[in-house]
Structure 1
Amino acid sequence: MKKLISITLALVFTLGLLAGCSSKGTPTGPSGNTSNGSKIAKVGLGHITSIKSSKDLGTDKDGKEVLPVGQVDTVIAAVAFDKDGKVVKVTIDNAQTKVNFDKNMQLTSDIKAPGKTKVELGDAYGMKKASQIGKEWYEQAAALGKWMEGKTVDEIKAMKTFKRDDAHPAVPDVAELKSSVTISVQDYIAAVEEAYKNAVEVKGAEKIGLGHVISTAKSKSLGTDKDGKEVLPLAQVDTVMAVTAFDKDGKVVKAIIDNAQTKINFSKDGKVTTNKNDEFKTKVELKDAYGMKKASQIGKEWYEQAAALGKWMEGKTVDEIKAMKTFKRDDAHPAVPDVAELKSSVTISVQDYIAAVEEAYKNAK
């Protein structure tokens, strides 16, 4: 009898040890960590803007009329990295915004309507019906981001790809992505690389989110101004971006704010006059070349003001940020901060930047 009891106790002890080993072998980590325990050490914003898909007024190869289009594609990547430079979390999106004109170079797009990214469009983007794998764009972008997790930028850049056609020069040639990604990935990888180069250190970040506000409101039809001077057609797309890291209580740890203000000029006869091969820089990338400082009441450039606004947001919840007191300086500046800490550092209108941070919170993961 004693021998039986001894054997039973030994078995219980052994099973307890095995259970303990199993528990240690699969740590889940606290919220915000990956399954292998990696913590967010840096966050970055990457972006690439192109106008190459814009069109002149003309005819196609079948003699059918082609109406003018100003198209801006701004690829955006919000990325969190661990201390070893490996991707912890990534969100990839594309703000593909079109400004349409008729043959008389009058705007036909509703320029008051807010623009939507490919992720926001979801199934309405319409890739699934033409996809060889039956996957919509947002699904493919999510699968690509998932594949990047746990890898360094160099490992991501080393991905094998193949050219399917001129429009798809870099389709993944990776077994894990064969059934999930058939889009060309060169711009998305480049945006993640830029996010890494621009990444800033953070402490206590549990989640990271991407927010944006897209406007075409400053686009113009062919016409004349109040002084009778000719106004040439213009497609202007302002893509506000905010990559925001939050702590476990939903407070901002870091807010990176930028604006890709992209202008496509047309001649009166409907030809694109902006060089389609130009490198299009954001307001942060332009820095002093953006030219706000000389007109600023406080002598601060746009990138300096955006950084000061982001700094003010740190330690606050989205609700606290939205409660900021503002005043209307003029129609172009309806929400200038009326906060003592920002009087000497921010005179830009902040409504779109706050809205982008709020969306980043809603999208945070």
Structure 2
Amino acid sequence: MSADYRQVIYSNPFVRARAKVGTVMFDVVLSLLPILVFAYLAAGTRALQILGVSVIAALVSEFVFSWFFLRKTNSLKDGSALVTALLLACTLSPLTPWYVVAFGASMAVLFGKILWGGLGRNLFNPALVGREMMTVFFPAVMSSGTLWAFQDYVQVEDIRFFRAIGESTSGEYWDSLLFKTTGAIGEYSILFIVLGGLFLLLRKRISWHIPFGVFVVFFLFLRLLDISPEHYSIAGLLFGTIFMATDMPSSPSTSSGKLYYGLVLGAVAAILVWQQVRFEYMSYAILIMNGFSREISSVFKPVVWGEKSDWKKITGQALLLTLAIATITLAVLQLHNLKAIPYAVYVYIIYTIIKFKFPIKNSLIKKQSV
């Protein structure tokens, strides 16, 4: 007699839907279009150049690397490279040099997706992987204060939409939410970032759990820690939460897991801001939580029908998970303060190359009985 044992590794997303990947990506692009219009108003052709370079570099890299490493020639059809390129561009200054943008978009595709095995297998958000590599390999460029001095390129200085139809005081506030001319390419309209999120929510491309958890805990920590609004960007927080943190492959797949993920993500982001991490707090927070997304899905997995949840066991596992996340957050803070984040990126690069070259196969383990 003989028996076969198969090791099965489950990875997200678990949900099966009739909507094709291309349709989902198209909805994300639609939700970004109004934001990109405001990017042109705020930064003119410079914003369009950044977007164009990012898209071209990502599409070319997707085709070349997918063919070379995965032997696939049709991966452009799913639209994921386009979405990655747009999201990456939205985190950048409109004055970012074109070669740095092209490098970031290529690295986002290669080290954020291809070397993980392709679409849906990546552990980390590809756009944020590309952005961190830009910061590591072009530190002088990415840390330069002149990178954000783009007022000479602004097409429209001010929009007086709400002030034209209401009281000047409240109208001025709402106009500031509609349009402003500071920040990264994706941060010029808080109102349309929120509307884009609502569109994705209505289309069921994202769920409410992660954004809700992030905003509740982040703003609670702001009050408790007395953090000044000067130390963070509402638009950046919104954009990162809605469009980055909810990325399906790199976030938990269960509703309870997503809520936990959002709550802890909000706490991590707030602590990083509190500890004087000025520009990278959302990138660090999301990437830290990405690294635990599969463990979170495992801890908060649905119970088998007819069985009861073991809340004592789940609570214990969640506490251990929270402790592990806190430890990694402190480690990242220490690396940031020591300016040693590049070494973590180098380790990540080596890890992804080794993982791709020598994959852990779910091979069939055969045992012969006596």
Fold-level similarity (TM above 0.5): no
Tell me which interval the TM-score lies in, with the shorter structure as reference length. Answer: under 0.3
Q: Which has the larger radius of gyration?
A: 1
The structure in which a higher percent of residues are helix is 2
* TM-score in terms of structure 2 length: 0.28
* TM-score in terms of structure 1 length: 0.28
The structure in which a higher percent of residues are strand is 1
Q: Which has the higher contact order (CA 8 A, sep 6+)?
A: 2
